[in-house]
Amino acid sequence: MKTIWRVSSYLFRYKWMFWGTLALAIGSTGFYLVVPKVAGYIVNRLTSQQGIDGYWLLVGTLIGCFAMRETLNSLRIRLNNVLEQKVLIDLRTDLHKKLLNLPVRYFDTRKSGDIASRVIEDVQNVERVILDGTEQGSTAMLTLIGVTGMMFYSEPRLAALMILPIPIMVVLSRLHFKTQSVNWRKVREASGELSSLLIEDIQGNRLINSFALKEREQKRFTEKAEELRRYTLKGMFRWSLHGPVNGFIVSMGTVAVVGYGGYLTFTEPETFKTGDLVEYLLFCYMLYQPLTLISSLNNMLATGKASAERVFDLLDFDIDIKDPDTPKAFPETPLEVQFASVDFKYTERANLLSDFSLTMPAGKVTALVGHTGAGKSTVANLLQRYYDVSEGSVSLNGVDVRELTLKALRSNIGMVAQDPFLFDGTVRDNLLLAREDATEEELVQALEGACAWEFVSKLPDGMDTLIGERGIRLSMGEKQRLTIARVILRNPPLVILDEATSAVDTLTEAKIQAAVDNLVKERTTLVIAHRLSTVLKADKIVVLDQGRIIETGTHDELLHIDGHYANLWKVQSDLIAD
C-alpha cells in the first residue's frame, strides 16, 4: 500500500481539484441512490391501484435524478481529467529531472531500454491507475457506502444477505492482488529487457548486417518476447479465474435477495410490498456493480503497483554527486589542475588509481598515455566529477571540485570524446548547444577553427542541413570536428580530449589534429591518447600503468629515458612503417 499511497500523494498537490472531484462524486452518487426509492414508490403505487395522482411527478423525479447524476458526472470527469494530466506532467517532470541528475554509475549498470521502459510504459501504467482509480474507484466506493447505508435503514435482514458475498470477495481479491503484483513485476522487467534488446538491435543494425547476425538476433528477440508472453498470459489466466469466481459469488447474493425478498412479499405483504422488492433488486445491482468494478480495478492496481515500484526505484536512487551546501565561486583563469594523493575504485573492485598525484600546469597541454585500463579515462571522469574520489582531492587553482556547483564546473570544461555525440537536428542546432546567443559570424569562425567549415559549407543547406540521429549522415571525422567547433564556440578555460582521433584514418587525423591545435591554444588541456603521434606537441606527457604514474616528461625527454614510453613509441613507429 505504501506505493499506492505514494502515487496518491501526487494527487494531493492539487487539493482543490481532488476535493472538488470527490464532492462532485458524492453529489452524483446521492442522486443515484434516490432512484431505487422512487422506482419502489412507483411500483407500489401501480400494484396498490392508488390512481394516477402524483405518478408523473415520480417519473419526473426519476428523470431529474438521472439528469443531475450525469451532469455532475460530466463535471467530475472533466475536472478529474485535468487533475490526472497535471499529476502525469509532475510525475514525468520529476522522472526527467531525476534522469538528468542521476550519477554516471546509474547508467553504467543499467540498460537504456529498461530505463526507457520505466519512463514511458511504466508511467503509462501508473497513469491508468490514477485515471481509473480516482475516477471509477472513488465513485464505486461512495456507491458501496451509500447503498449499504440505505439498505440497512430500509430492511436490515435483506441487507445482511446482500453483503454476505463481500468478505469472500475481499479475501479472494487480496490473494489475487498479492500474486498478481509479483507476476506483473516480472512482466514489467521482461518488457524492459525486450525494449533493451530492440534498442540494441536498432543501434547495432550495421554490425548485425556486416556479421550476418540476423538469425542470432531474431532468436534472442523471440526468446525475450516468449518470456514476456509467458508472464503476461500467466497474469491473464489468473484473472480469467478470478473474474468469473467473483461474478458467481455476486450472483449468489442476487439469488439470496430474490429468494428471501420474494418470501417476504408473501409472508409480510403489509410491510414488504412488491415495490420494496424492486427497490432492493435495484440496490442489489447498485451494490454489486461497483464491487465487480473494484474487483477488475484490483487487477489493474496490481499492474500499476509493479510499474509504480519501478518508477519509484528510479526516483529514489541516491544521488551522491551533488552541489555543496555552500559552493565557492569558480576560480579565476588560467586554471592549474591538481590531483593530490587520489585513490579511486569502481564499486567493489580494487583501486584503479592509488596515491595518484598530478599537476596540470595552467594554459599547458598535459597528455596521458598508457595501456587500456591504465586509468586514463578515469582521470577525466574525476576531473568532471562524474565520480568522486575515494581519498585525496581534485582541485582547480586550489579549489576542490567538490566545493563548486556541478553547473559551474562542467560549463567551464570542454569535452571532445572518442565517440562524439550529436543530437538529431541541424549543424546549427548542435553548435548552438554551446552558446545559444552565438552570431552567424561566430558560428563560422568556430567551424573554421575546427577545420569543419570546408565540409559544412558544401552541405546541401549549409549549417541548416539535417544530420540525423547521432549525426548518422556525417563521417566520424566530420562529427569529431563538429564537436571541436562546439567546444571552440563555448570557449572554456579547460579542455579534455579523450582519444579524439582513435577511430579515424591518418588523413582525417591530420585534419582533426589541426583543429585540436587551434582549440588548445592558451587553455589548460588534458589529452588522453592511444596514438602517440597526437601528443608529440604536449607540454607534459604522463605515462600511466595500473593507476600509477611511472614516467613524466616531454616527448624527447621520455625517448631519452628509453623506458615504457619509448617502447610504446617504438612499437607504434614500427607499425606505421610496416
What confidence score (pLDDT) does residue 210 get? Answer: 60
Residue among 65, 68, 80 at smallest CA distance from 139? 80
Q: Are 496 and 526 in contact (CB under 8 A)?
A: yes
Cα(102)–Cα(477) distance, integer angstroms: 31
Position 578 confidence tier, pLDDT thresholds 50, 70, 90 = very low
314-328, 435-449, 453-467, 495-509: lowest mean pLDDT where?
495-509
How distant, in Å, are the alpha carbons of 6, 96, 314 from that of 115?
A: 20, 11, 8
- The tens digit of pLDDT for each residue in 105-156 reads 888 777 777 787 787 778 877 777 776 666 677 777 888 888 888 878 877 8
CATH 3.40.50.300 fits 421-491, yes or no: yes
The more confidently predicted of residues 91 and 499 is 91
Provide the CATH topology of domain 2-315: ABC transporter transmembrane region fold (1.20.1560)
Cα(65)–Cα(474) distance, integer angstroms: 68
263-277, 398-412, 461-475, 558-572: lowest mean pLDDT where?
263-277
- The tens digit of pLDDT for each residue in 244-301 reads 887 787 778 778 878 887 888 888 877 777 887 787 788 877 777 777 777 667 667 7
317 pLDDT exceeds 70?
yes
160 pLDDT exceeds 50?
yes
Residue among 389, 475, 452, 377 at smallest CA distance from 417? 377
CATH number of 334-412+494-578: 3.40.50.300
Cα(415)–Cα(492) distance, integer angstroms: 10
Q: Is 421 exposed, middle or buried (0-12, 13-18, 19+ CB in 10 A)?
A: exposed
What confidence score (pLDDT) does residue 21 get? Answer: 87
Q: Do domains 334-412+494-578 and 421-491 have the same CATH topology?
A: yes
For the chain, the domains span 2-315, 334-412+494-578, 421-491
Q: Are 253 and 288 in contact (CB under 8 A)?
A: yes
Position 340 confidence tier, pLDDT thresholds 50, 70, 90 = very high
What confidence score (pLDDT) does residue 171 get? Answer: 81
575 pLDDT exceeds 60?
no
- The tens digit of pLDDT for each residue in 221-240 reads 888 888 888 888 887 787 77
Angle at which helices 55-101 and 123-132 cross, to 10°: 160
36 pLDDT exceeds 70?
yes
Q: Are 180 and 236 in contact (CB under 8 A)?
A: no
117-121, 215-219, 378-382: lowest mean pLDDT where?
117-121
Cα(540)–Cα(552) distance, integer angstroms: 7
What confidence score (pLDDT) does residue 58 get? Answer: 82
Query: Which percentage of the chain shows pLDDT scores above 90?
Result: 15
Average pLDDT, the chain: 82
Task: Tell me phi and psi for residue 130, to 5 degrees.
Answer: -65, -45
The more confidently predicted of residues 559 and 503 is 559
The more confidently predicted of residues 139 and 453 is 453
Position 12 confidence tier, pLDDT thresholds 50, 70, 90 = confident
What confidence score (pLDDT) does residue 87 get? Answer: 83
Question: Which grid cell sits at 59?
Answer: 417519473
The more confidently predicted of residues 276 and 332 is 332
What confidence score (pLDDT) does residue 3 get? Answer: 66
What confidence score (pLDDT) does residue 75 get? Answer: 92
The more confidently predicted of residues 322 and 50 is 322
Cα(226)–Cα(232) distance, integer angstroms: 10
What confidence score (pLDDT) does residue 577 get? Answer: 44
What confidence score (pLDDT) does residue 18 get? Answer: 85
Average pLDDT over residues 397-420: 90
User: What residues contact residue 62 under an 8 Å CB cut-off, 6+ apart?
Assistant: 35, 38, 39, 42
Average pLDDT over residues 356-385: 89
Q: What is the pTM of this model?
A: 0.70
Q: Which amino acid is at 186?
A: K
- The tens digit of pLDDT for each residue in 511-528 reads 777 777 777 888 899 998
